[in-house]
């Protein structure tokens, strides 16, 4: 993952008077068998409130399809789907809801390998 909502990582996706919620890293693995693995690393920084930062990773798996430049991720067992686009060198995808972060929807950009 190189960016969230058009900003380089780490990126603050939510903030209160005491805490910031950041996305610090991520990985999207689109596998040949049509499955995917999405990992999003987050940091909850409540140092303004006197608490130490806490980091954690959310992992989502499921199936994907690509039609032209349109990507659809379907997380296993949810009945949901998240849309994205594929270009020559990158993939952009709407992220599933992130723990401790309220809406709005967040869009992540990944470098595509092989190019």
Q: What is the pLDDT of residue 102?
A: 67
Residue located via tokens 């900003």? 7
Grade residue 103 by pLDDT with cuts at 50, 70 and 90: low
Task: Please state the domain count of the chain.
Answer: 1
Grade residue 99 by pLDDT with cuts at 50, 70 and 90: confident
Q: What are phi and psi of 61, to 5 degrees?
A: -125, 160
Q: What is the pLDDT of residue 104?
A: 73
Give the H/E segment covering residue 114: none
What does the alpha-carbon distance between residue 53 and residue 6 come to, in Å, rounded to a whole number? 24
**DSSP code string of 35-84:** EEEEEEEEEEE-GGGTPPPEEEEEEEEEEEEEETTEEEEEETTT---EEE
Domain containing 95 equals 3-111
Contact 46, 53 (CB under 8 A): yes
Contact 22, 11 (CB under 8 A): yes
Q: What is the pLDDT of residue 105?
A: 84
Q: Name which residue leads in pLDDT, 113 or 40.
A: 40
**pLDDT tens digits, 32-90:** 999 999 999 999 999 999 999 999 999 999 999 999 999 999 999 998 899 999 998 99
């Amino acid at each position: 993952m190189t960016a969230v909502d058009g900003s380089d990582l780490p990126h603050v996706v939510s903030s209160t008077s005491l805490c910031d919620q950041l996305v610090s890293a991520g990985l999207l693995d689109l596998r040949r068998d049509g499955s995917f693995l999405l990992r999003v690393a987050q940091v909850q920084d409540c140092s303004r409130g006197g608490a130490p930062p806490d980091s954690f990773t959310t992992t989502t798996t499921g199936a994907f399809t690509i039609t032209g430049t349109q990507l659809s991720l379907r997380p296993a067992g949810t009945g949901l789907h998240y849309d994205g686009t594929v270009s020559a060198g990158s993939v952009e995808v709407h992220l599933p809801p992130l723990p401790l972060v309220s809406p709005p929807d967040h869009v992540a950009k990944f470098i595509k390998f092989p190019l």
